[in-house]
Structure 1
Amino acid sequence: MNAEDSLKLARRFIGLPLEKRQMFLAALQREGVDFSRFPIPAGVEAEDRQALSYAQQRMWFLWHLDPQSGAYNLPAAVRLSGRLNQPALEQAFASLIERHETLRTVFQQQPDDSLLQVPLQQPLDIQRIDLNTLPAAERELRVAAAAEEQSLLPFDLANGPLLRVRLLQLAEEEHVLLLTLHHIVSDGWSMNVLIDEFCRFYDAHDQRQEAELPPMPVQYSDYALWQRRWLEAGEQQRQLDYWLAQMGDEHPVLELPLDRPRPVLPSHRGRRHERVVDAALVEQLRGVARQHGVTLFMLLLGAFNVLLHRYTGQTDLRVGVPIANRNRREIEGLIGFFVNTQVLRVQLDAQTSFTDLLGAIKETALGAQAHQDLPFERLVEALKLERSLSYNPLFQVMYNHQPEVADVTSLKVGSGLELGVIEWESRSTQFDLSLDTYEKAGQLHAAFTYASDLFDGATIERMARHWTHLLHSIVNDPQQRVGEIALLQAQELEQLTQDWGRHDAVWPSARAVHELFEAQAAQTPNAIALIFDGQQQTYAQLNARANRLARTLVAQGVGPEVLVGVALDRGMELIAAILAVLKAGGAYVPLDPQYPRERLLCMIEDSGSRLLLSQSHLLERLPVPHNVRSLCLDQAEAWACSDDSNPQRTVWADNLAYVMFTSGSTGRPKGVGISHGALSKHAFASQHYYGLNAADRALQFATFNFDAFGEQLFGP
C-alpha cells in the first residue's frame, strides 16, 4: 500500500463511528497490517477536533487542583552574547507562534463541562528588563533570581498566554532570554525544537530573508484527534490489559528515608544536584552493558533500583520512566505535549544477582516499549487508586536517560550571536526524587532533582555519592548479589562501623534497673517516686511494696528467664508489679487489657507465661488459659506481712527483663526479648541524652506495650 492510499484510509478511519472503526482495525489486524504506522492526516473535520489529547486532559486536571502552582512549568534560561537585533527577536517568536498551533492555544471549559482548545488572540508580550547599570556581581544575582521567579510563576490555562518570554539586558552585547512554557503545550523535546527554530527564524529576520523551514505536515490537534480515534477503537484496551497484568494488585508507596515528614499539600519546590560521571567509569559501564546484551539505559536503571532497594529495604519497586512518544516522522518537529510516562516495576531482594536483575529489567523495558502508547492517565484511572495530593500515584521516583542532548552552546546564528545555558539549583518537581542521566559533549552527566519539602541537600549529595560508588562496585563484579554491592567508600564505612560506635561514657550495665532503683530508694527514701490520681508514694514505700510482692513471686517459682504476664490498669500497682517481677529475677510480658481477646491470647500462649498479674475487674475480660495461674493485686494481699527488704536474687546482663510483642500488622505478632543489660544501658543513655536530674519530672504517657514506657519509667 503506497503512502497516498494509506493517507486516504487514515482519513476515512477517523471519520467512521466507533463500531465501524473497531471493525476496520480488526480487519487490518487479520491481514497483518499495523494501523499505528498509517500517516496522521491533517485538517480532518470532526465535531471533537478541538478536544484535548489524553495527556492534556490529565495536565489540565492537575493544574485545576492547584492553579497557583508552577509545578508543571518548563523553564529555560539562555545567555545571548553578541549583537542582538531585538526587532528580529520579536519577529522570530511571532513566526514560531504562527508555525505552531500549540503556542497560540488556551484551554477552556465549556458550559457542558467539556474542554476545548481555543485560539489565543492576543500577541506575545516580551517583557524587557534593563540591568545594564548594575554592578556585575549584582547583575548575576538578579539574573538568577529572575530565572527562578519565572520558573515558578503560575500560568492561567484558560486565558494564557502559555509561552512567557522575558529579556534581560546585562550589557550592550550581553542579554539573557528567559523562556517558560506550561507542560500542557510542550515537553523536553519541544524545548529543543523551539530553540533550534528560534535561531533559524532569528537569522532569517535579522538578514531580512524568509526562513527556509519545511512546512508543517500536521498540527498537534491533528495528532490528538488521530490518537483518540485509534486508541478508542480497541488499541487502548489491548495495551491496558498488558499494563494491568504488569502492575499487580498492590501499589506500595516508596518509603525513602526522609529528612522531614511528608506534607499533606506539597509545595512542589525542588532543587537539583548535578555531577559528571568519570569517563573511564562510563566506558567500563558500556562494556558491562555490551557483555550482558543490554543498553546503557537498562544498566543505569538497574543500578538506580539497587540504590532504592538498599535505601528502603523494599522488594517491589516502581520507577517512572518518561518516553518521548515521537515515533512518527510527521510529529518529530512539533511543539506539543507528547511525552508519556511508563511505570517499570522491578522485583528484587538482597539475594538477587545483578546480572539476573539486568535480565529482568531488559524484559520489562522491552515489554513496555511494545506497549508505549497507552496514556499514563488511562492506567491510573483503570487501577482506581486511592488518590492523595501528597504523593504521585503509582510511583514516587523518576528515572530518565537521554543518549544525546543537544549542546546549546554549540549553536550560533548567522549574525555571530552565541548561545549559552544558565543553570540554577531551584526547580519545580512533582516527584520525591528524579534521576536524569544524559550524554552531552562526550560526557555522561547525572542530575538528582529532589523535593525540598522532603530532603536536605546534604542527604541527596550523599545519595549521589552512594550511587557513584555503586556503579564502581558493579563494574568490578557484575555477578554480585544486590545485598553485597558496596555503597560506602572505605572512609565512610569506617566512620559508620567504628568511629561513630565509640564513646567515652561507661554505662553500668552490670547492674539491673531494679538494683539501681533500690540504690536510689536507699539514698532518698522520702523523695516522691510516683504521683497518680491525687495519690503519691515515696521511693521507700514503692520499694517496700515491690519487695513484698517479689518474695511472693519467688515462692511461686518466678526466677531468671521465667515470663510473667502483667495485665493491669495504669496506676501505681502497675509500676509495683513490674518492679516486683524484675526483683524476683523474672521477665514481664506487658498485656494491655484494651487489646482484642484474640491478640492477648496469642501473646500469652506464645510467651509461655504460666502466671498472670491482674485485677479482679479485668479477669472476666481476659482470655486466661486453664494452665495459667492468676494473681489479683487488688484482693487481700497474702504478702502484706512479707519481708519488705530487698530480695537477694541474682540476674545477669543477658537475662530477660521483658518481652515486647510487635504490632502484628504484617501477620502474627512476634515477641522480642529485651535483656537487663540492654534496658539498663538504654535508661542511662536516656538520662544523659535528655540531661535529667533530681529536679525534673517525667510524664508516663506511653502505653507499657511500647519501649518508650521503659525509657520514661527508668530513664529519669
Structure 2
Amino acid sequence: MVDSDELKRRLASLSPEKRALLEKRMAAAVRPASIPRRAPADRTPVSFSQRRLWFLDQMEPGNPAYNVFRGVVLRGPLNVDALERSLSEVVRRHEILRTTFPLEAGEPVQRIAQPVSVALPVDEMTDVPAALHREQAEKIAAAEAANAFDLSKDRLLKARLLCFSADEHILVLVMHHIAVDGWSVGILFRELVAHYDAFSRGLESPLPPLPIQFADYALWERSQFSGEKMERQLDYWTRQLASVPPFLNLPSDKPRPAVQSSHGARYYLHLPGLPIDALKAAARRESATLYMALLAAFQALLGRYAGQDHFAVGSPMACREMPELENLIGCFSNTLALRADLSGNPYFRELLRRVRETVVGGLAHQTLPFDRLVEALNPKRDPSRMAIVQVNFRLLTVPLPPSAGGRIEFEFLEVDNRRCKFDLALELVERSDGLAGYLEYNTGLFYPETMPLIASDYEDLLRAVATAPDTPFGELAFVPRFERNRTAATPLEVHRKPAYLRTSQHAPANPWFSARRARPGSKVRLFCLPYAGGDAVTFLRWSDSLPAEIELFPILLPGRGARLREPAYTSVSPLVEAMAQALRPALDKKFALLGISTGAILSFELARSLRRRGYPGPSHLFVCCCEAPHLPPSRSEPIHDLPEAEFLEKLRHFGGTPDAALEDPELRRLVLPALRADFQLRDTYAFAHDAPLACPISAIGGAGDPFADRASLEAWRRHTTAAFNVSMLPGGHFFFNPDPGPLLRIVAESF
C-alpha cells in the first residue's frame, strides 16, 4: 500500500502533461456525483461563503468593500435595446442575480424573485469633451461602486449606461460579492456578448439552459460537506498552519489603527520586459506553474520586508471542480491560507518546490470555508487586522471577449473603488508584453508613494530569481530599497518600517526626486527631464540661476545616478505611467514640465498621462531641441541595437556624452545600458492622437541644431489650445551647455 503522503509526493512530481493525462483518465473512470435540482418547496439556505459575507455585512452595514464592479468601454454603433434585453436574459438565466438574503429563524436564507426586465438607465453625456470621457466615467463608476447594497431587499446587479456619442458608450455594472466572484464576471460578460450578438441580429438566445442554479449548489453543499469530509479538511489545514504565526508583521508607513478600516487605494503597475519565459522554464523544471513562481517571489519579498520565515498569504480559488459549476454565476470562491516557508535561506528552485507542495495540497482541500478554518484555529483576535492572512495574491486568467457582433469593441475600464479588505494585495494578469495589474493597499497603513517602491522591488526580485534560480535568496544580486538606505541610527527592528519610509516626518522619500533643490517658500515647481543618457545632475547647477520662487525638481530616471542598479525603461508608456504615479504627491502646488530632446517627448506624454488620470496638469510645458511628437524622428534609422562599436560612434556624433564615459571600459559598462534604453525609448515611440493640451507650450532650440530646426519646433503648435511660442538660441543641439542662462530666463519670464 502507498500512504497518502507518498501518493501526494508522487502526484506533485508529475510533469504538467502527465498530470493532465492522469486527471483525464481518472475523470473518465469516476464521474463526480451530479448536483440535483432542488424541489420547488425547498427552503434554500445560503452557501458557506455567502454566510461569511452576510455576517461581515451585518457587522458593518453599508460597507461597500465587497462590491464587485466593472466599467466597460463599448466602441461602435450600439443597439441599446439589444444590450438591455441581453442584461435581462443574463438575469433570467442566473437566479442568483435576482436573489435577496432576508433573515428567517435567525439565519440568512436565499429568496429568489421572478424574472423581470432589467432597466438600463442611459445618461446622455455628449457634452463632455472627448479628453474627459474616461475621467468622467471613472468618477461615476467609483460613485456607483461606493453605494451600499441592502442584502435583505436589493437586487444585486445594478447597471448604468453612459452615452458619450453614438459610437462610444461605457457600461457600468455593480454587483455584490455574495452573488458573484471573479470567475462569474467572466461568465457574465461572455453571456452578455453572446446574447447581444444574437439579439442585435433579431435572433433568439444561443445559449443552452443551465443544468442547475446556485441555490441548488448551496443546498447540495450542505448535504455533502459535513461529518468525515469536514474533519479531513480541517485536519489538513490545522496541521498546515499550526505553527504559523497569526500575523505577518509587514512594516507600514503609519501606526496601525486600533480597528482596521477598509479604506484603500490601488497602484496600477505594468512590468514590461520581464523574463516570463525564464520564470516559466524554472517553474516547469519543478513541475510548477507561473502562478506558483510569482507567488514564491511575492512570499520571498514579504518575508524580506517583515523579517519572517513563516507566515500565510491568502489566495482566492475558484472552487468549481464540477462541470455543472463552470458556467454558473455565483459566489464559489474561497480564500486559501497558503503557508510561506522561507527557512534555511533557500534558493528559488527550492522555494518553488515548497510552494508547489503547498498549493497542490491546498487545491486538494480547497472547499473548507475560510471562516470554518478561523473558528478551528481560533487565533488571537486583533481588531486591527484580519485573522490568519493579512496579504492577498491572485493571478487572473479570465479574458474579456474582444467584440460583439463584429462591430462593438470591448475594453475594461479600471476603476479604483478606494477599498481594501487586506493590508496589501497584489493582483496580476499575464499579457503579451509582460505582467500588469495593481497593488491594492490599506490607506490607513501605507502612503501612495510606497507602492511604486514595492512594485519595483518585486520586479527586481523576479528578474534576479529568473536569471539565478539556484542562488540562495540571501546571496542574490537584489537589495530592497529600504536596505539600501538603512542606517545604524534608524534600524528597521526599532521603527518597524523601512528606512525609505522614515526619511521625512511627513512622507516617504521619493527616489525620482532625490536630486531636488528644496525651496520651501517657492511658488512653482519645475520638473526637468534629461536628454538620452542624461542624468538629474545635468540640472543641478541650474538652481542658482532661477528665481527664488521656482523650485527645481530634476527627475532621476532608473538606470543612472543613485538608481544605477535599477533597470532602465525601454518603452515610453510604462515609464510615463510610473512617473505619473511618482509625481502625484508633489502636484500640490503650481508646476511646469521641462524636457530636453527625448526628455521633451517624455514631458509631453507625462502631461497627457496626468490629464488621463485626472491629476493636476502643468501650468507650462517647455520642450527643448526636439521635433514635435507627431513628426518622424530626425534620426531615420534606429541605433539602440547596433553593435557596440557602431553605437559608440553614433554617440560621439550626437555629442552630450562625456568622452571619458565612452573611452573607459568600466564606465562604458555602467552607462551603456541606460544609453541604449534611452535611445530605444525614442526609436520605438509611436505617437497616439489625442486632444491638445490646455497649457502653454514653449519650444526652444539651438539655431545650429542639425536635429531640430525651427520648422520642427513650430510643429509643436498643434499640441496646445493655449499660448505657444518658439525661441531659437545661439548654439547647437546642446545649446544650454555651458551657459543655461538664456534658456532659464525664458523659463523665468514665462511665470
Name the structure 2 match of 1:127.
121
Name the structure 2 match of 1:651.
none
Name the structure 1 match of 2:154.
160
TM alignment of 1:80-479, pairs within 5 A: 80-110=74-104, 112-120=105-113, 124-248=118-242, 251-279=245-273, 281-349=275-343, 351-402=345-396, 404-408=397-401, 410=402, 412-414=403-405, 416-441=407-432, 443-479=434-470
Contact 2:244 2:339 survives alignment (8 Å): no
Cα drift, residue 64 of structure 1: 1.0
Q: Distance in 1 between matches of 2:119 and 2:443?
A: 32
Name the structure 1 match of 2:35.
40
Q: Which amino acid aligns with 1:428?
A: R
Corresponding residue SS for 1:293: coil
Q: Which amino acid aligns with 1:74?
A: V
Q: Using a 3 Å threshold, how does the CA distance of structure 1 residues 164 and 389 change in structure 2: closer, same or farther?
A: farther
Q: Which amino acid aligns with 2:213?
A: Q
Q: Which amino acid aligns with 1:40?
A: I
Corresponding residue SS for 2:338: strand
Cα drift, residue 137 of structure 1: 3.4
Greater mean alpha carbon deviation, residues 177-186 or residues 355-364? 355-364
Cα drift, residue 196 of structure 1: 0.9
Name the structure 1 match of 2:703.
none
Name the structure 2 match of 1:642.
none
Cα drift, residue 164 of structure 1: 0.9
Cα drift, residue 279 of structure 1: 4.2
Q: Distance in 1 between matches of 2:41 and 2:381?
A: 34
Contact 1:405 1:439 survives alignment (8 Å): no
Contact 1:350 1:484 survives alignment (8 Å): no
Q: Using a 3 Å threshold, how does the CA distance of structure 1 residues 363 and 415 change in structure 2: closer, same or farther?
A: closer
Corresponding residue SS for 1:461: helix
Q: Distance in 2 between matches of 1:54 and 1:270?
A: 27
| 1:488 partnered with 2:476 | no
Residue identity (%): 36
Corresponding residue SS for 2:410: strand
Cα drift, residue 250 of structure 1: 5.3
Q: Distance in 2 between matches of 1:305 and 1:476?
A: 18
Deviations 1:56-112 (A, max 9, x none): 0001001111121110011100011111222212111111111000011000002x2
TM alignment of 1:24-63, pairs within 5 A: 37-44=32-39, 47-48=42-43, 50-63=44-57
Contact 1:273 1:425 survives alignment (8 Å): no
Q: Which amino acid aligns with 1:453?
A: G
Q: Distance in 2 between matches of 1:494 and 1:268?
A: 32
Corresponding residue SS for 1:153: coil
Name the structure 1 match of 2:721.
none
Deviations 1:535-556 (A, max 9, x none): xxxxxxxxxxxxxxxxxxxxxx
Deviations 1:557-583 (A, max 9, x none): xxxxxxxxxxxxxxxxxxxxxxxxxxx
Q: Distance in 1 between matches of 2:236 and 2:30?
A: 19
Q: TM-score, normalised by structure 1?
A: 0.61
Q: Using a 3 Å threshold, how does the CA distance of structure 1 residues 293 and 414 change in structure 2: closer, same or farther?
A: closer
Contact 1:349 1:483 survives alignment (8 Å): no
Contact 2:73 2:171 survives alignment (8 Å): yes
RMSD: 2.6
Q: Distance in 2 between matches of 1:415 and 1:464?
A: 37
Q: Using a 3 Å threshold, how does the CA distance of structure 1 residues 346 and 141 change in structure 2: closer, same or farther?
A: closer
Q: Using a 3 Å threshold, how does the CA distance of structure 1 residues 327 and 101 change in structure 2: closer, same or farther?
A: same
Q: Which amino acid aligns with 1:458?
A: E
Q: Using a 3 Å threshold, how does the CA distance of structure 1 residues 132 and 300 change in structure 2: closer, same or farther?
A: same
Q: Which structure has the bigger radius of gyration? A: 1
Q: Using a 3 Å threshold, how does the CA distance of structure 1 residues 388 and 123 change in structure 2: closer, same or farther?
A: farther
TM alignment of 1:663-674, pairs within 5 A: none
Unaligned runs of 5+ in 2: 1-26, 492-751
Q: Which amino acid aligns with 1:422?
A: L
Q: Using a 3 Å threshold, how does the CA distance of structure 1 residues 149 and 36 change in structure 2: closer, same or farther?
A: farther
Unaligned runs of 5+ in 1: 1-31, 502-716
Q: TM-score, normalised by structure 2?
A: 0.58
Corresponding residue SS for 2:428: strand
Q: Using a 3 Å threshold, how does the CA distance of structure 1 residues 461 and 280 change in structure 2: closer, same or farther?
A: closer
Cα drift, residue 167 of structure 1: 0.8
Greater mean alpha carbon deviation, residues 134-143 or residues 148-157? 134-143
Deviations 1:670-695 (A, max 9, x none): xxxxxxxxxxxxxxxxxxxxxxxxxx
Cα drift, residue 478 of structure 1: 1.7
Corresponding residue SS for 2:440: strand
Contact 1:107 1:158 survives alignment (8 Å): yes
Deviations 1:317-371 (A, max 9, x none): 1001111111111111111001111111122236333333222212211111211
Greater mean alpha carbon deviation, residues 195-204 or residues 413-422? 413-422
Q: Distance in 1 between matches of 2:406 and 2:362?
A: 45
Q: Distance in 2 between matches of 1:350 and 1:486?
A: 18
Cα drift, residue 386 of structure 1: 4.1
Cα drift, residue 290 of structure 1: 2.1
Q: Which amino acid aligns with 1:451?
A: N
Corresponding residue SS for 1:224: helix
Corresponding residue SS for 1:200: helix
Q: Which amino acid aligns with 1:419?
A: F
Q: Using a 3 Å threshold, how does the CA distance of structure 1 residues 366 and 333 change in structure 2: closer, same or farther?
A: same
Deviations 1:247-278 (A, max 9, x none): 10554211111111223344423222233334
Corresponding residue SS for 2:169: strand
Q: Using a 3 Å threshold, how does the CA distance of structure 1 residues 366 and 492 change in structure 2: closer, same or farther?
A: closer
Corresponding residue SS for 1:186: coil
Corresponding residue SS for 1:232: coil
